[in-house]
Chains A and B, each alone.
Chain A
Amino acid sequence: GAVVSQHPSWVICKSGTSVKIECRSLDFQATTMFWYRQFPKQSLMLMATSNEGSKATYEQGVEKDKFLINHASLTLSTLTVTSAHPEDSSFYICSASRQGDPYEQYFGPGTRLTVT
C-alpha cells in the first residue's frame, strides 16, 4: 500500500507556456502533500506543503504565483508551472503523508520538466 503516482512522468513545453503536474495517492487519503524540486546531482528542495482544501505553504524563495499548487481532494494535488522558462527545467517530485503520521512520506516517481 501507500502508492503515489505522478502524471506526466516527463513533459517538454515551450517557454512561456504553462504545464500542470498531477500527484495522486492511489490507496490512501493524503492529508498533506509536498512538492519538491531536484536538480541534477543535488538533493531535494522542498517547494511547498499543501493540505486538502487550504492554501499551500510555500518555502522561502519559491514564487507562489509561478508555481500554483492546488490540493482539491484527499487524493489529488496539482502543481502548475506558469509561464515556464528554461530555468524551470527540473525534476519535480511530490510526496504524501497520512493524517497522524506527518513524517512518513510516500514519494511519487517524479516528473521531468524540460522547457525549451
Chain B
Amino acid sequence: AQSVSQHNHHVILSEAASLELGCNYSYGGTVNLFWYVQYPGQHLQLLLKYFSGDPLVKGIKGFEAEFIKSKFSFNLRKPSVQWSDTAEYFCAVPGGGSQGNLIFGKGTKLSVKP
C-alpha cells in the first residue's frame, strides 16, 4: 500500500539557516511525489512536484527537493530560510487509482526565528 512518512514533527531554525525536511515513501507504481505547504491561516498550496526526469526538482520560493530512488526519499531543501517560511509542510504521494487522490504525510511544522 502507498504510504509516506515524515520523520520531523517540528523543526525550529534561525533565519538564514539551511533546511532539509525528510520524506520517505512507499509506492508500488509510477513514482509521483509532492510537497505542499500550509502557511498559518492559509490553505494548502503546491510547493513542487516530481513526475519524471531530473530528480532534482525546483519549486516556488527557493525550495527544491531531490528524488533518490534507492533511498525512497524526496527530501525538501532550502539553502537559507526566512521568517516567512514558517509553515507546515506536507509530503504526499498518489493514493492509487486514476482520479488523483493523494496520501499525505503527517506534516512537519517549521518555525523560523527572526
Residues on A facing B (Cβ under 8 Å):
4, 32, 34, 42-44, 46, 49, 51, 57, 93, 95, 97, 102-105, 107-110
Contacts and interface: CB of A to CB of B under 8 A. Distances in A.
A97 B103 contact: no
Main SS at interface, chain B? loop
Contact of A105 (B97, B98, B102): B102
A48 B54 CA distance: 33
B52 to A, nearest CB: 12
Given A43-B105, A43-B106, A102-B100, A107 B94 contact: no
B43 A51 contact: no
Interface of B: 32, 34, 36, 42-46, 49, 90, 94-95, 97-107
Contacts of B36: 107
Given A43-B90, A44-B90, A103-B34, A97 B43 contact: no
A102 B98 contact: yes
Given A104-B46, A104-B49, A32 B100 contact: yes
A42 to B, nearest CB: 6
A51 B99 contact: yes
